[in-house]
Amino acid sequence: MSAAASRSQAELRRVLWLLTPAIAAVVGSEFIVIGLLPRIASDLKLPLVGVSQLTALFALAAAVAGPPVTLFASRYAPRRVLIVTLLLFAMTNAVLAVASSFPLMLMARIAQGAALPAFISVGTAEVARLAPVETRGSALARANLGFVLGVLLALPAGIALAQAGDWRVPFVVLAILPMPMALGIHAWFPRAAASTVPTASSQLDLLRRGPFLGHLLLSIALFAGMFSAYTFLGAWLEGGLGLHGSDVALALLGFGAAGLVGNSLAARVADRLPLLATGIAVVALAASVNAGTWVHDIVAAILPLAIWSVAHTAGVTLSQVRVALAGAEAPAFAMTLNVSAANLGIALGASAGGWAIDRWGMSAMGVVPGLLAVVVLLIAYALNIGASAFNDFVQLVRHLVRSIGAR
């Protein structure tokens, strides 16, 4: 290995060490609310579905504001973007820790959602820049470990920190954590210039490519299906299985630990079989969620929960790597578009799942994931057999929508 290659590998390892906890902290800021929804609703005397807007509006802000914020951030050095974003999350989490106004809390969540895609995309673009082409997929999967940890550990961490009865404590912790991370990035992150980022026109060119748009559509449907159930996992453990307090935290911790297996499995196949693996993951997820709603004690729920966690995490990892590789010429913008697509799916899924539960009860938690699994399989199949087939699929959907509208 040449001296330049060895130096690049050392930089890549350092970037991964810095990014993993930082991404976990900002992603955890999004998902920690899920485990706290019942407590927040009770304290603020609001319905559970209403308080779930803390999740839905964060996701919607990421979906709508993420791409333009990332285009703006691309003018600046990645190191600076990461530091500023971490400081923003520290400030807004401090607001959530002390605010007594629900609208103010929503504004803080919207600001976080708008900044999240830029943080993740800029960081992972540096990983793609430093990694050799032949191992780029596996390097991106390793970078995704922070995303996975943020998604899966936020719930049990939030519940454990809130055991004293105060749901604001987790936000205090999340207001403090970004500070040393920002200092670490300031000291050790590579000082790459903003000129290494593709021009805005070359990044926007991704939006004119049908297959790439198909991958984004697949991410929307996939995340909608996953989070139509995952958003209410904590509530289901309490209301459906009768767990309380530390027992819920332990169950969620086990759920997160099983998810690490899903990340590892996905990393092994992401470069070779991403669409097939995505199809398998979404079917396993829908089946396990529906199976879980039929049981009423934690022992019987262990196997469905384990499969659910593995499939959920594999879906997240496959989505990140799949879109990053599909938009390899502009990885940062591709990633932010995927984060936006994923968060749009989360917003839609949280709303649809909340509607189903509100209408039919917690036993209906698997209805929306089951329906959206079919949509995911259709899109994946169309993408798998080629761009022309995907365009035909889009035309078919448009025809069906027009036919339904005509009636």
Is the pLDDT at 221 greater than 90? The verdict is: yes
Please give the Cα distance from 387 to 297 (Å, whole number).
46
pLDDT of residue 115: 94
At 391, list the tokens.
Answer: 């365009």
pLDDT of residue 374: 94
Is the pLDDT at 281 greater than 60? The verdict is: yes
pLDDT of residue 2: 65
How many CB atoms sit inside 10 A of residue 177's CB? Answer: 21
How many CB atoms sit inside 10 A of residue 244's CB? Answer: 10
DSSP single-letter state for residue 364: G
pLDDT of residue 288: 95
pLDDT of residue 163: 72
Q: Which residues contact 275 (CB under 8 A, 6 or more apart)?
A: 322, 380, 383, 384
Judged by DSSP in three states, 328 sits in coil
Q: Which residues contact 199 (CB under 8 A, 6 or more apart)?
A: none
What is the percent of the chain with per-residue pLDDT over 70, rounded to a whole number? 88
- Residue 237's pLDDT band (boundaries 50, 70, 90)? confident
Find the range with the poorest average confidence among 28-37, 280-289, 348-357.
Answer: 28-37
- Is residue 274 within 8 Å of 215, Cβ to Cβ? no
Query: Per-residue pLDDT tens for 241-259?
Result: 888 767 887 888 888 888 8
The average pLDDT across 262-282 equals: 84
Residue 265 CA, distance from chain mean position: 18
Judged by DSSP in three states, 336 sits in helix
Please give the Cα distance from 407 to 395 (Å, whole number).
19
State which of 5-19, 148-162, 166-180, 223-237 shows the largest mean pLDDT. 166-180
State if pTM tops 0.75.
yes
| Geometric angle at alpha carbon 144, from 75 and 236, rounded to 5° | 120
pLDDT of residue 126: 85
The average pLDDT across 282-295 equals: 93
The average pLDDT across 70-88 equals: 91
The average pLDDT across 139-144 equals: 78
CATH architecture of 3-406: Up-down Bundle (1.20)
The average pLDDT across 307-328 equals: 88
pLDDT of residue 195: 44
Is the pLDDT at 233 greater than 60? The verdict is: yes
Judged by DSSP in three states, 250 sits in helix
pLDDT of residue 274: 82
State which of 69-78, 123-132, 186-195, 302-311 shows the largest mean pLDDT. 302-311
- Closest to 222 measured CA to CA, from 66, 101, 371, 39: 371
Please give the Cα distance from 372 to 286 (Å, whole number).
9
Please give the Cα distance from 382 to 30 (Å, whole number).
32
Is the pLDDT at 400 greater than 60? The verdict is: no
- Residue 403's pLDDT band (boundaries 50, 70, 90)? low
| Geometric angle at alpha carbon 78, from 74 and 84, rounded to 5° | 95
- Residue 85's pLDDT band (boundaries 50, 70, 90)? very high
Q: Which residues contact 237 (CB under 8 A, 6 or more apart)?
A: 243, 248, 251, 252
Is the pLDDT at 164 greater than 80? The verdict is: no
DSSP single-letter state for residue 76: S
The average pLDDT across 283-295 equals: 93
- H/E element, 221: helix 210-230
What is the percent of the chain with per-residue pLDDT over 90, rounded to a whole number? 33
The average pLDDT across 210-239 equals: 90
pLDDT of residue 220: 95
Query: Per-residue pLDDT tens for 291-314?
Result: 998 888 888 999 999 999 999 989
The average pLDDT across 49-60 equals: 85
Between 328 and 229, where is the model more confident?
229
Q: Which residues of 391-407 are buried (b: 16+ CB within 10 A; e: fewer)?
A: eebbeeeeeeeeeeeee
- Is residue 124 within 8 Å of 16, Cβ to Cβ? no
Domains in the chain: boundaries = 3-406
Residue type, 316: V
Between 83 and 237, where is the model more confident?
83
At 292, list the tokens.
Answer: 């879980």
Judged by DSSP in three states, 63 sits in helix
How many CB atoms sit inside 10 A of residue 361's CB? Answer: 12
Residue 160 CA, distance from chain mean position: 22
Token pair 């089946």 is found at 287
